[in-house]
Structure 1
């Protein structure tokens, strides 16, 4: 077997494996699916009797001249059409129902699976590509599910029935159409594979164009600030033009294929009409037989044409479906151990032992980190950019797992507890706050979904947010725009603090929570953070050392290692990296001004 043949066989096998995975999705609805398929087959069987009825009708008119028989045959044909339409409606309705139900289930399954995947997965993919898979690719499954097996069965039944009846009517005339079938089969297989590959390319390029649009629209403030509207429009135009070029190639292949099949069958019908006419003139075939024969030939032509279109559609759907199944095969990098326990309420003591971590096996970001954070105390992480501070914070809630070492909360290794129960004990207030484009209330209540109105208001007051919330047009029910665009940076930060207060965590992670605020906003946020930090184990990352000088313990990181640790005064006396950084920041200031 040649390499090309091996590749082709692999592709065909892959198609059927993909279809098998698609049909597995309909398992909960198999009874409805099979019932609908049977109804569709019955509709095809009824249709096969129509040409015979027409034959009798024509022979009754042209040969017997029986007017009463003509009337009864006409009524009978009308009844067949009604019966065929009824079964067709029943079958198609339930097939469509199954298709829509499966798509709904699949969208929920894919979305749930996405939430199980970790930060590594999202760091390697653009959001627009993921969104495209969830919307465009999932929709393509429906085509394969509702159009492939049911239609394949009905078409096969129709073909076998038409061929059998044609042979009974006139076997010599039947040979004319049989010559065409092998050529159509080979063409279907050849073009189908090429169309499938192009369909997958189209889905990839559609995802790329969606990602380009989502990147730009999600950063519209930046785009306008740098006057890059034309640049972003150009990027999107280039992406969709590339998509158009691939789609055009698919259209050309598809239309060439269908046109070729049409020419072959129309030519065959002309030959049948010519040869059949000669048979009628020779009294070897009646006019009714010829009409019935032509209708069966048309049915075969239509069935094979449908098979060709079906094969094209299934290849298109399979190309997109592969992307969905690839996504579902992605395994979460963070999983619970088989014997993982639920971490219930904790005091918040955190111990880190010999922690080593690197991203994708590259250069170590953390190198042998060890320290202790007593419950209710504040630990500050300082050091140059890239020292590993944020990475260390990301390991505490198990957003990533270290290659070596361990983290203990109240003496329990965090890898021995269910990670969701661990994260229930932790709140994070980052520098770049993410808010949902809904109401103020819905953003605060995210910290505790069953919070009462009194709890929501109290959390807002503790976060110094209640006053500005009341000044908005609808108070707590005010819409804040996409990512909180209607709010200032300080207001967004205070909502994030209110959300964290409502969660009432034992451990608090603050990552540059005030670095981007003006002086007035910083003062209000600092006051809110002070309330939030009370009686909680708090880890604070800060470049401005004025915000950490009253921390219970300060860790100085450099190139992934703890190079110094102690209190503010102890580190100043050491005259090391911390002292150097402090002098650079405060050489012109008489006195530090903040506690967090």
Structure 2
């Protein structure tokens, strides 16, 4: 019920259009009921008049029928136009809201979620909500408005027939939907879950198709996807079967109600207590009145799926709200941090009970250069991911401090964290846009002169001067139009534009040839001149510029010192050899 109310709040910006659509849909239903009832009376009256050889007023009922037909057609067209437009407007706002929510999530929530699942929430769950107004809310509102009006007119002719009709409407519009909703509630959760799993597996399969081919594991992965698809189709079959059974039961109730109405009216006609032509009119009146609730069973079948999709989306929204609440509580007094010290104290981290870091402590002072070295698996990457907020902090604390002002790193919002800390990773993503657009991601308000200066300091001037389109040069999907070294230097230009207080470098020269490495090294030296730097590297050329080197083994700090001081240890010397 809570999620249903939250969905209603999403409709608030377009409530006028939705209410207009409800009004037009109600007019359509009432016009159709009146058309069928009056048509039945008119045909029966014409037959009776012909048999009796009498005359009757032809024009008034014929005009009324034509009027109701025009009203039904016009209102149906208007209802389709208004309700679908309102639905599209609501969906556009929901998509923007969900994307905004994802952008507000902290790094931990994003890193610990499967990207395919997040895409599934953006696409599949949002698309499921397009049924909320048209298939769920609209039939409920139309039933609430039209049923009392229909019952009022029907009871004016015969209370017993009205009671029979009302009983049938309650069975179709309340009892059957409530039963189906309770029965399919568990199924809807499983259907939504399987849909998300299937999309995630298909995404992983397509992304890892090369590796699957190399290791001859395609058939195994495809079989896994087929199994999930079969389970998902089974859940769809259950829902569609329930919908088909509901249609059959609804039709049965309608026919029984119509027969019961005829049985009730026939003695009255026989005893002349009711005009014989009213038998046809009331019978068709009863038949047409069920149009007001025939869509309710389908609405209650769709409702659990819509609510489960909404629950997944609202879960993300609640995470973002809780994160922002935490940030607001700690950030207002810490916006003055400009060039802080970074302190790690007693940091420990485990993967499924396997320790990656064990009681690691050190300090990165303002404008100090610190390198982290160690063999693969010693905990370097884990430490960087904790510093950049990509993984949750399990034990210990990381703080930023300046002039007595101190704040826990995990309480910083994404915006404030990015203002203070930037990471230059081995694999830097280049967006499918222009060079200017990629630079603007780091500094949206950067001027052209600032961009050109950053490119120059990043050793990109020779390459840039050869570009015919200059800053408007498109870099291609994933940066396919630039080399690896150029991509790395574009990342450095972004870091220069952002000018962070602390820069984290993850193997910045890894995989580059000697010429590219020298260019990147010069660019890094430019960045390092104005920032505190924490780098993971085994490159002696970089280590020589470090003020302090932290040597990690098996998640522990086994030594600290300058590069020259640590060279006396043969193990350290072999560690820094490039392979």
Paired with 2:575 and 2:355, the residues of 1 have a C-alpha distance of: 28
Structure 2 Cα separation of the partners of residues 171 and 377 of structure 1: 90
1:192 paired with 2:177, answer: no
Tell me, yes or no, if the aligned pair for 1:336 and 1:415 is still in contact at 8 Å: no
Match of 1:413 among 388, 403, 406: 406
Structure 1 SS opposite 2:567: helix
Instruction: Report SS of the residue matched to 1:510.
Output: strand
2:448 to 446, 453, 471: 453
Q: Which runs of 5+ in 1 are unaligned?
A: 1-15, 587-591
- Give 1:582's aligned residue: 573
Aligned to 1:424, the other structure's residue is in SS state helix
Separation (CA, whole Å) in 2 of partners of 1:123 and 1:425: 20
| Structure 1 stretch displaced more, 166-175 or 535-544 | 166-175
In 2: Cα distance, 1:258 partner to 1:442 partner = 55
Question: Structure 1 residues 52 and 177 mapped into 2: Cα distance closer, same or farther (>3 Å)?
Answer: closer
| Equivalent residue, structure 2, for 1:4 | none
| 1:392 alignment counterpart | 383
Residue in 2 that maps onto 1:358: 349
Residue 380 of structure 1: how far off its partner (Å): 0.8
Question: Which stretch of the first structure deviates more once superposed, 99-108 or 61-70?
Answer: 61-70
Offset from partner CA, 1:529-581 (integer Å, 9 cap, x none): 222222322111114455413312111223444321111111223x3xxx413
| Change in CA separation of 1:406 and 1:585 when aligned onto 2, cut-off 3 Å | closer
Indicate if the aligned counterparts of 1:490 and 1:521 stay in contact, CA closer than 8 A. yes
Contact kept? 2:369, 2:546, Cα under 8 Å: yes
After TM superposition, the structure 1 = structure 2 runs for residues 526-545 of structure 1, keeping only pairs within 5 Å, are 526-545=521-540
Deviations 1:273-323 (A, max 9, x none): 577667656655445312321222222333342221222222332232222
Q: More displaced, 350-359 or 421-430?
A: 350-359
* Alpha-carbon shift at residue 342 of structure 1 (Å): 5.3
Q: Secondary structure at the match of 2:57?
A: helix
SS at match of 1:508: strand
Q: Secondary structure at the match of 2:459?
A: coil
Contact 1:162–1:297 (CA under 8 A) maintained in structure 2:
no
Give the direction of change, closer, same or farther, for the CA distance of 1:547–1:309 in structure 2 (3 Å limit). same
For residue 252 of structure 1, report the CA deviation from its aligned partner.
1.9
Q: Give the SS at the match of 1:413.
A: strand
- After TM superposition, the structure 1 = structure 2 runs for residues 315-464 of structure 1, keeping only pairs within 5 Å, are 315-330=304-319, 335-338=326-329, 340=331, 341=333, 343=335, 346=338, 348-352=339-343, 354-358=345-349, 365-399=356-390, 400=392, 403-411=395-403, 412-415=405-408, 419=413, 420-464=415-459
Q: How many residues align?
A: 568
- The answer to whether 1:243 aligns with 2:243 is no
After superposition, the Cα gap between the structure-2 partners of 1:583 and 1:49, relative to the gap in structure 1 and judged at 3 Å, is closer
Q: In the alignment, which of 2, 5, 11 is matched to residue 26 of structure 1?
A: 11
CA contact (8 A) 1:355 1:404 kept: yes
The alpha-carbon deviation at position 368 of structure 1 amounts to 4.6
Distance in 1, Cα, partners of 2:226 & 2:25: 44
Q: In 2, distance between residues paired with 1:342 and 1:191?
A: 54
Query: Which residue in the other structure is 2:297 paired with?
Result: 308
Counterpart contact for 2:374–2:552, Cα < 8 Å:
yes
Q: With the length of structure 1 as denominator, give the TM-score of the two structures.
A: 0.83
The alpha carbon displacement at 1:445 in A equals 2.6
The higher-RCO structure (CA 8 Å, 6+ apart) is: 2
Matched residue SS, 1:563:
strand
Once the two structures are overlaid, the 10-residue window that deviates more, 352-361 or 205-214, is 352-361
1:84 Cα deviation from its structure 2 partner? 4.2
Change (3 A) 1:315 1:433: same
Partner Cα separation in structure 2 for residue 135 and residue 289 of structure 1: 53
- How far apart are the structure 2 equivalents of 1:30 and 1:307? 21
Which residue is equivalent to 1:151? 139
Normalized against structure 2, the TM-score is what? 0.85
Q: 1:255 aligns with which of 219, 244, 259?
A: 244
| Cα distance change on mapping 1:540 and 1:585 into 2, 3 Å | closer
CA distance in 2, matches of 1:453, 1:170: 82
Q: CA deviation at 1:379?
A: 1.0
Distance 1:27 1:182, change over 3 A: closer
Structure 1 residues 370 and 310: CA distance shift in structure 2, 3 A: closer
Where 1:336 maps in the other structure, the secondary structure is helix
Specify the SS of the correspondent of 1:565: strand
Q: What is the match of residue 10 of structure 1?
A: none
Bigger Cα displacement from structure 2, 271-280 vs 454-463 = 271-280
Residues 8-33 of structure 1 show CA distances to partners (whole Å, capped at 9, x for unaligned) of xxxxxxxx333222112223344444
Q: Deviations over 1:130-186 (max 9, x none)?
A: 111111112222322344344223223433343444444345555665665565454
How far apart in 2 are the matches of 1:147 and 1:265?
21
Q: 1:176 to 1:368 in 2, by over 3 A?
A: closer
Which residue does the alignment assign to 1:556? 551
Deviating more after overlay: 300-309 vs 472-481: 472-481
1:376–1:483 distance in 2 versus 1, CA, 3 Å: same
The CA distance in 1 between the partners of 2:211 and 2:178, in whole Å, is: 50
Q: Is this contact kept in 1: 2:538–2:575, CA < 8 A? A: no
Q: 1:162 maps to what in 2? A: 150
1:9 is aligned to: none
Instruction: Check the 8 A contact 1:460/1:498 in 2, yes or no.
Output: yes
User: Deviations for 1:374-425, whole angstroms, at most 9, x for unmatched residues?
Assistant: 4333111112334333343344455555743442343432338854234213
**Distance apart, 1:511 and its partner CA:** 0.9
SS in 2 for 1:431: coil
Partners in 1 of 2:28 and 2:531 — Cα distance? 71
Quick check: 491-500 or 98-107, which moved more? 98-107
CA distance in 2, matches of 1:405, 1:125: 23
How many Å apart are 1:522 and its aligned residue? 2.4
Gaps of 5+ in 2: none
Q: Can you list the C-alpha shifts for 1:167-209, whole angstroms capped at 9, x where unaligned?
A: 4434555566566556545443222323333233222222112
